[in-house]
């Protein structure tokens, strides 16, 4: 698939609020897809993080009081974590919220499409910035019948090199997979 095809499939309404989320801490992430051979930007979190240490994730984080909404949070966090400045005009849609099982976050994923990106610089919350060919990544999906995670109906994993992408990040990728490969 090319970038325009991903854009066509993932473009949709943007509503940067989540209803019925009172029992969760709110956060948002930015799914950045870019390039002639569409790639997605993901980050590897440092082992020293309080939540989700060492996991592969999308840039983003929890809402701050000064953020006007969850889209502002995703834009701010993406800029802070990887140095990528995104305007709201570059955000083409959003996916369904996902929850984390252990840390109590509800995450609203936004989708941004860019033709190209500048050199990115990680802050202290990011161990590595990963540029992953999206279609290849989506082809690695596995249903995970791990009984330890039986609290939710859908547990998926994806693979990048020798790393497993799981949890909320995998559930976000599964939403993209479902739209791209129905």
Residuewise pLDDT in 10s, the chain (182 residues): 999 999 999 999 999 988 777 788 999 999 999 999 999 999 999 887 766 667 899 999 999 999 999 999 999 999 999 999 999 999 999 999 999 877 888 999 999 999 999 999 999 989 999 999 999 999 999 875 554 544 455 678 899 988 889 889 999 999 999 999 86
For position 151, what pLDDT does the model report? 46
Residue 62, helix vs strand vs coil: strand
The residues that bridge with 105 in the sheet, in sequence order, are: 25
Reduced 3-state DSSP string for 80-92: HHHCCCCCHHHEE
pTM for this one? 0.91
Q: Which helix H or strand E contains 134, and what residues bound it?
A: helix 134-138
Distances (CA, A) of 43 to 4, 5, 11, 67, 168: 24, 24, 23, 22, 14
CB-CB contact of 38 with 133 (8 Å): yes
Domain covering 3-133 assigned CATH 3.90.79.10 in the classification: yes
Which region holds residue 101: left if phi is over 0, alpha if psi is between -120 and 50, else beta? alpha
b (16+ CB within 10 A) / e for 48-83: eeeebeebbbbbbbbbeeebebbbbbbbbbbebbbb
């Amino acid at each position: 698939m090319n970038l325009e095809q991903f854009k066509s499939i993932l473009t949709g309404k943007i509503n940067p609020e989540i209803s019925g989320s009172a029992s969760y801490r709110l956060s948002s992430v930015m799914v950045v897809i870019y390039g002639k051979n569409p790639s997605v930007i993901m980050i590897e979190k440092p082992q020293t993080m309080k939540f989700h240490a060492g996991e592969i994730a999308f840039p983003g984080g929890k809402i701050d009081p000064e953020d006007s909404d969850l889209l502002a949070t995703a834009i701010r966090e993406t800029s802070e974590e990887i140095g990528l400045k995104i305007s709201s005009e570059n955000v083409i849609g959003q996916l369904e919220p996902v929850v984390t099982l252990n840390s109590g976050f509800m995450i609203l994923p936004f989708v941004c499409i860019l033709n190209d990106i500048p050199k990115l610089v990680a802050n202290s919350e990011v161990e590595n910035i990963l540029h992953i060919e999206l279609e290849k990544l989506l082809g690695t999906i596995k249903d995970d019948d791990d009984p330890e995670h039986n609290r939710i109906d859908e547990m998926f994993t994806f693979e990048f090199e020798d790393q497993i992408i799981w949890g909320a990040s995998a559930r976000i990728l599964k939403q993209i997979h479902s739209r791209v490969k129905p």
